Structure 1
Amino acid sequence: MNESSASRTTTANNTGYAAPITQDLVLTDRDLHRVRVLIHQRAGIVLAEHKREMVYSRLAKRLRHHGLTRFSDYLNELERHPQASEWQAFINALTTNLTSFFREPHHFPLLADHVRQRSGRIRVWSAASSTGEEPWTIAMTLADALGGTASNRFEVVATDIDTDALECARRGVYDIEQVARLDQELIRRHFLRGKGRQQGLARIRPELADRVQFDILNLLAPQWSLQGRFDAIFCRNVMIYFDKPTQQRILERFVAYLQPDGLLFAGHSENFAWLNSTYRLRGKTVYQLT
């Protein structure tokens, strides 16, 4: 198959045989290479060559939005206008937002124990907050560990590069199915069930929402719009999209934002042991400064 012409993919129909689907837009090998270079430059994401179908399906919506039929024309427009707002749509399209409440649940009892032993104001940074499930889980954990949301003792700062995901996170509204798997008492404490037109939805309670601040942040940016240090940083399942040099730069930058005994929470498939001069393993995918 010639990948430099309009691609053709297959899918299974109800007969069990593969039925061809013609893709109407042109994605060449050179286009794919350019996409990979541009997303790495802008967001640090290392996009594998086998992600062709993902690139096609996600960016095709942007081409159709602009009335284009060739990926090369779309990429040319991006490169001609380096400050265009379309760059954010490009990044949003290629960002993966797989998350859930209390994902990797072993992290949260450790976080609760950590903050119970501390005095003063507690600050936690969710550095890849996606659609909000992680920072809301952190906020729930802190509220329950420190005595409720009425306390001003804690703050969660949630950042992400994907503006669409951040907007969803800010709203704090989720399908009830996403919430129903949680402990019923926890749901009662931290969610409001929708009624009428909001039936089937659940919203984070306002008093908990007051404890979480959302903002856009690119981990590759030369300056981060953050102030002060944090008792814990969650940067989970995002480093896997970066190459080793990028990972090292980010991990070294975290040092200035962590309290001396602060914790860094990583994803289940991430291992920072190779950076042993800066961090030591504290628990399962949890690190502390050496």
Structure 2
Amino acid sequence: MPTAALSDFNAMPSVGGPLLGDAEFQFLRDFVYKHCGIALGEQKRQLVQGRLLRRLRALELKDFSSYCELLRKDPHGELGELASVISTNVTSFFREMHHYDLLIDELLPRWLEQKKNGGRLRIWSAGCSTGEEPYALAMVLAEALERAGSKVDARILATDLSPQALEQAHAGTYPLDRMGGVSDERRRRWFLRGEGRYEGYACVHSRLRELVTIQPLNLLHEWPMRGPFDAIFCRNVVIYFDKPTKQRLFERYAGLVEPGGYLFLGHSESMHGLSDAFELVGRTVYRRRVA
């Protein structure tokens, strides 16, 4: 699932393009809800039409009926592209810094001490978008490992549904104007300045790549990993899910987080009334209850 859910900007359809009929829009609403967990209201019709016109042109399809037929024949083959089209990946390095402060000041030192005799440390960035979140996590993890002189087996899993977002996450190359959340010290330490055709870009250090595994994943479908995770970051992903979808997702997270482990949500998200498996311990920070 892309990191940010459905965009709210007013996308107007191109003049002269095919119209999104009632039957096609209802099919797309059902399809997106089933496979992405996003409920598209009637007020999103113009946005969907405007966004999908570009996809129709790329596929050389004449109308939305043809696109719906493509989804019927190969739902999984086109799902990632559809999710990318109707969603907006809004993310940045060290967004919601208080989460990283908690990791740096308390959680990582504790985990590394607990696991120094052979344990594993695992963090999952669920909805990693274009990679800024997992690479920011990798920076603080690498720094914590150095401070502790630790050789703990530590890894970050980064997953998303969007093929375009994952392509950039794999590349690890970002425009300099998107580096605002990274301190000068960390820029010097963890990034290489691009040259030639990469002028104006920064590329993540190989050490960060070693810590991060990037994989495609739909949060609503089967999960290949078994955990356990010390922490899961699922920020700005569930805000547009309906209540039953959120409840199912949080239940699944509870099955993968260590008792006493942590789940981090976005600033507009809450687990209130949705799960008894976690307790609120900070600003959008939840801890898995210990039985």
**TM-score for the superposition, normalised by structure 1:** 0.87
- Equivalences for residues 176-255 of structure 1 within 5 A: 176-221=176-221, 223-255=222-254
Match of 1:163 in 2: 163
For the pair 1:36 / 2:29, whether they are aligned, the reply is yes
What SS does the corresponding residue of 1:242 show, helix, strand or coil?
Answer: coil
C-alpha contact (below 8 Å) 1:230/1:257 kept by paired residues: yes
Match of 1:15 in 2: none
C-alpha contact (below 8 Å) 1:10/1:21 kept by paired residues: no
State the one-letter code of the partner of 1:136: Y
Match of 1:92 in 2: 84
CA deviations 1:67-126 (Å, max 9, x no partner) are 2232122112321x1356233322332232111111111110112221111232321000
Match of 2:257 in 1: 258
State the one-letter code of the partner of 1:257: L
Match of 1:4 in 2: none
Match of 2:6 in 1: none
Q: 1:150, CA displacement in angstroms?
A: 9.1
CA deviations 1:246-276 (Å, max 9, x no partner) are 1000100111211111110001111102135
Match of 2:50 in 1: 57
C-alpha contact (below 8 Å) 2:11/2:47 kept by paired residues: no
Match of 1:274 in 2: 273
Match of 1:146 in 2: 145
Separation in structure 2 between the aligned mates of residue 10 and residue 39 of structure 1, nearest angstrom: 18
State the one-letter code of the partner of 2:237: V
Gaps of 5+ in 2: 1-9
Report 1 or 2 for greater relative contact order, CA contacts < 8 Å, sequence distance ≥ 6: 2
For the pair 1:116 / 2:115, whether they are aligned, the reply is no
C-alpha contact (below 8 Å) 2:37/2:220 kept by paired residues: yes
**TM-score for the superposition, normalised by structure 2:** 0.87
For the pair 1:72 / 2:71, whether they are aligned, the reply is no
What SS does the corresponding residue of 2:239 show, helix, strand or coil?
Answer: helix
What SS does the corresponding residue of 2:187 show, helix, strand or coil?
Answer: helix
Separation in structure 2 between the aligned mates of residue 265 and residue 173 of structure 1, nearest angstrom: 25
Separation in structure 2 between the aligned mates of residue 226 and residue 138 of structure 1, nearest angstrom: 19
State the one-letter code of the partner of 1:109: D
C-alpha contact (below 8 Å) 1:279/1:287 kept by paired residues: yes
Separation in structure 2 between the aligned mates of residue 67 and residue 195 of structure 1, nearest angstrom: 36
CA deviations 1:172-230 (Å, max 9, x no partner) are 00001111452100111111111222110100000111100011111111x20113211
State the one-letter code of the partner of 1:133: E
For the pair 1:107 / 2:99, whether they are aligned, the reply is yes
Separation in structure 2 between the aligned mates of residue 117 and residue 68 of structure 1, nearest angstrom: 55
Separation in structure 2 between the aligned mates of residue 41 and residue 75 of structure 1, nearest angstrom: 14
C-alpha contact (below 8 Å) 2:94/2:181 kept by paired residues: no
Counting matched residue pairs gives: 272
Separation in structure 2 between the aligned mates of residue 212 and residue 31 of structure 1, nearest angstrom: 40
What SS does the corresponding residue of 1:50 show, helix, strand or coil?
Answer: helix
Separation in structure 2 between the aligned mates of residue 45 and residue 108 of structure 1, nearest angstrom: 28
| Sequence identity percentage | 42
CA deviations 1:123-180 (Å, max 9, x no partner) are 1000110110111111112122232799554210001111211111011000011114
State the one-letter code of the partner of 1:199: E
- How large is the RMSD of aligned CA atoms in angstroms? 2.2
Q: 1:29, CA displacement in angstroms?
A: 3.1
State the one-letter code of the partner of 1:209: R
Separation in structure 2 between the aligned mates of residue 150 and residue 159 of structure 1, nearest angstrom: 26
